[in-house]
Amino acid sequence: MPAGSRFENMPMPNDSKVLLRDLDSEVCVASVFRGKASAELSKKIEAQLRAAAGKENLTLSNETRICRFDPPFKPGFLQYNEIVIPVSLPLDKSGL
């Protein structure tokens, strides 16, 4: 949602499958990739992201989010995705 939006002012989704949730802020690492977000490709990108975070001495959560931003009928090579992994806090604020 746009910056400054408030959860209580969000319009209700037209689709009952869409769920709005109010989440606390968190620090995450993310990697953007194009292509169909298959389980195999997503695991590969996740492994690369975890390895890069490890080199930076970041401790990551066990949770991994696959964010798909395009409809499934869009050609795979045009699909935009992200792998997002929360950083386990406490985190040294000078490292941000």
* 58-77 pLDDT tens trace: 999 999 999 999 998 999 89
What value does the mean pLDDT take over residues 41-45?
A: 95
Residue at 51 is within a domain: yes
Residue at 19 is within a domain: no
Amino acid at 77: F
Using alpha carbons only, what angle is made at residue 85 by residues 94 and 22, rounded to the nearest 5 degrees? Answer: 95
Residue at 88 is within a domain: no
Say which residues have a Cβ less than 8 Å from residue 59's Cβ, sequence separation at least 6: 87, 88
Domain holding 36, by residue range, is 25-80
What integer pLDDT is reported at residue 2 of this predicted model?
Answer: 75
CA distances from 30 to 15, 62, 81 (A): 28, 14, 10
Q: In the chain, how many domains are there?
A: 1
